[in-house]
Chain A
Amino acid sequence: MIELEQVSYGYGDTTLLSDISLQLAPGSFHFLTGPSGAGKTTLIKLCYGALIATKGRVSLFDRDAQQMSRDDVAKARRRIGVVHQDCQFLDHLSVAENVSLPLTVSGRSLADPSELDDLLAWVGLSTQRDAKPPQLSGGERQRAALARAVVMSPDVILADEPTGNVDWEMSLRLLTLLVELNRMGKTVLIATHDMNLIRSAKAQVQARVLRISNKNVHQAGADL
């Protein structure tokens, strides 16, 4: 599905990631952990084609990302839902419009318009559907971002610090939503440095924990 083979990334003389190999198989659940600045966000961006590896090969759905045109990458992104820590919304659009943005840009619509209401209800944002993103709290923004990431029913969900700005209760709620998605067959990769969150997840789902250190990715030990 998404595969990195001996991938390195850097700029100038600085190498951020070196010789990384990683495979996100269909239906798998991964955590990516490591200290701040270790390269978690960079690795996630490599996984959805926002960055081009300086060495090695990144495959998006069996195609070499480096050889793909921008439009091909855009099409591939429709199969990948991304949740960023800073969420990235269009502030002049409502929550409902932001959530349905992936459908809008791909010229699609939901088979049943009430599905959008169901999706907003699923993330607990029914009453905020007409609110603008700046009016939302941190947790509401994260849930809206998650709703937007899944509205196209993508094959893969990449979440970069999705619980970074929310309290523990909201973190667990977001985690539950991601676990639910994984149970529906979606591949999930969550970058986080919150060990408690990883421990909670491991109680609910078979998750593989990866740690970035020394510019490379290692399987984390059983001490988690």
Chain B
Amino acid sequence: MKARLSTLMHFLAGDAQADRVVPPTGYTARLTVFAAASMAFLAVFALALSLATGRLADSWGDALAKSSTIRITAPLDQMDAQVLAVMEVLATTPGVKDARPLSDDEQRALLAPWFGPDLPLDQLPIPKLVEVIEDAEGFDPEGLRARLAGEAPGAILDDHARWREPLVRAATRLRALGLVAIVLITALAGVVITLAASAALSANEQVIRVLRLVGAQDNYITRAFVRRYTLRALGGAVVGTTLGALAIFLMPSVGDQGNFLTGIGFQRWEWLWPALIPLFAALVAFLATRQTAKNVLQEKR
């Protein structure tokens, strides 16, 4: 461990003379910086997307899992008795935090988009709805259904599972897609930096030939290229991450009225994630360049 730390410190500190053996400019240098910056920029968005979908999945899951509806269908003259029976059942059901029948105004508001605002609820055989809020423990839906069937035969429990699950599944998929995007961006960054390093090593064949001629060992040559490309990738990724984070930060917020798109962003400690992107990009560059350099040097004596 100490030896690795020492190697890392040596690598970071660098060797001013060794650093100079690789020409400081060239298209491969610009290519590496640009690739790292672009990948980091995209990674910030993929990360934000992944985190936002994660939050969305949690919020949909939590919000919907904690509420249920009981629909009571009964002749108008029996409706109040059925509602009362349901309320009594709920009052003695463990896991129910709160329950209340929706008022006529609330039901009218729910139906308004389809039937207009002047619906005569008292003259129509519209089912009565009871909103049930669960406590942290939650209730047993099957047990409640069995009790309702006995006490209020016209009452049907809808625990939202049927339409909540696809929503949560969709959000979870989106989160997974975000993570896949991050993996792909990382892999692509590795490929681009590998190609850039490979092109750099080819473009600097003369440098390698001279270094070999004067007795440079593989490690020396590898270190010179790896350090140069790792630092370039780190610099590019810092720029890309900063721009990406700035773009996310400046995205318009619409508060509670916001939808999924306006919810993309980082909250509190989540801002630490993009800060890791440049370090990760540097690690990818380090590994990719080192492997490329080793492969190239193996072919040249």
B-contacting residues of A (Cβ < 8 Å)? 49-52, 70-71, 73-78, 82, 84, 88-90, 92-93, 97, 101-102, 104-106, 148, 152
* CB-based contact B207/A90 at 8 Å: yes
Asked if B75 is an interface residue, CB under 8 A from chain A, the answer is no
7 A–B contacts, CB within 8 A, in A order? A52-B301, A70-B217, A74-B215, A76-B215, A78-B215, A88-B210, A104-B18
Asked if B23 is an interface residue, CB under 8 A from chain A, the answer is yes
* CB-based contact B209/A88 at 8 Å: yes
Report Cα–Cα, A75/B220, bound state, in Å: 12
Whether A105 touches B215, Cβ cut-off 8 Å, given contacts A88-B206, A90-B207, A90-B210, is yes
- CB closest residue in chain B, given A92: B23
Of B213, B217, B218, B219, the residue contacting A82 (CB under 8 A) is B213
Whether A50 touches B301, Cβ cut-off 8 Å, given contacts A88-B210, A93-B20, is yes
Residue numbers in B under 8 Å from A101 (CB-CB):
21, 210-211, 214
| Smallest CB-CB A-B distances: 7 pairs | A105-B216, A78-B215, A77-B215, A102-B214, A71-B217, A74-B217, A104-B17
Residue numbers in A under 8 Å from B212 (CB-CB):
50, 74, 77
CB distance from A46 to the nearest CB of B (A): 11
* CB-based contact A102/B206 at 8 Å: no
* CB-based contact B21/A70 at 8 Å: no
Asked if B24 is an interface residue, CB under 8 A from chain A, the answer is yes
Q: Report the interface size for chain B: residues with CB under 8 A from the other chain.
A: 22
CB distance from A152 to the nearest CB of B (A): 8
Asked if B99 is an interface residue, CB under 8 A from chain A, the answer is no
* CB-based contact B21/A93 at 8 Å: yes
Question: Which residues of B, 244-301, contact A by the 8 Å Cβ criterion?
Answer: 297, 301
CB distance from B250 to the nearest CB of A (A): 41
Residue numbers in A under 8 Å from B218 (CB-CB):
70-71, 74
Whether A73 touches B211, Cβ cut-off 8 Å, given contacts A92-B23, A93-B20, A104-B18, is no
Report Cα–Cα, A23/B215, bound state, in Å: 22
- CB closest residue in chain A, given B16: A104
Whether A89 touches B297, Cβ cut-off 8 Å, given contacts A75-B217, A104-B18, is no
Residue numbers in B under 8 Å from A77 (CB-CB):
212-215
Residue numbers in A under 8 Å from B214 (CB-CB):
77-78, 101-102, 105, 148
CB distance from B21 to the nearest CB of A (A): 6
Report Cα–Cα, A73/B213, bound state, in Å: 10
Residue numbers in B under 8 Å from A97 (CB-CB):
20
* CB-based contact A102/B301 at 8 Å: no
Report Cα–Cα, A77/B18, bound state, in Å: 18
Question: Which residues of B, 20-45, contact A by the 8 Å Cβ criterion?
Answer: 20-21, 23-24
Residue numbers in B under 8 Å from A105 (CB-CB):
18, 21, 211, 214-217, 220
- CB closest residue in chain B, given A105: B216
Report Cα–Cα, A187/B93, bound state, in Å: 102
CB distance from A184 to the nearest CB of B (A): 20
Report Cα–Cα, A208/B210, bound state, in Å: 29
Of B21, B213, B217, the residue contacting A104 (CB under 8 A) is B21
Report Cα–Cα, A77/B210, bound state, in Å: 12
Residue numbers in B under 8 Å from A71 (CB-CB):
217-219
The listed residue with most A CB atoms (<10 A of its CB), out of B23, B209, B214, B216, is B214
Report Cα–Cα, A106/B20, bound state, in Å: 15
Whether A74 touches B216, Cβ cut-off 8 Å, given contacts A51-B301, A90-B21, is yes
Report Cα–Cα, A92/B213, bound state, in Å: 17
| A101-B210, A104-B21 known, 20 other contacts, Cβ within 8 Å | A50-B212, A70-B301, A71-B218, A71-B219, A73-B301, A74-B218, A75-B215, A77-B212, A77-B213, A88-B209, A88-B210, A89-B210, A90-B210, A92-B24, A93-B20, A93-B21, A105-B217, A105-B220, A106-B216, A152-B215
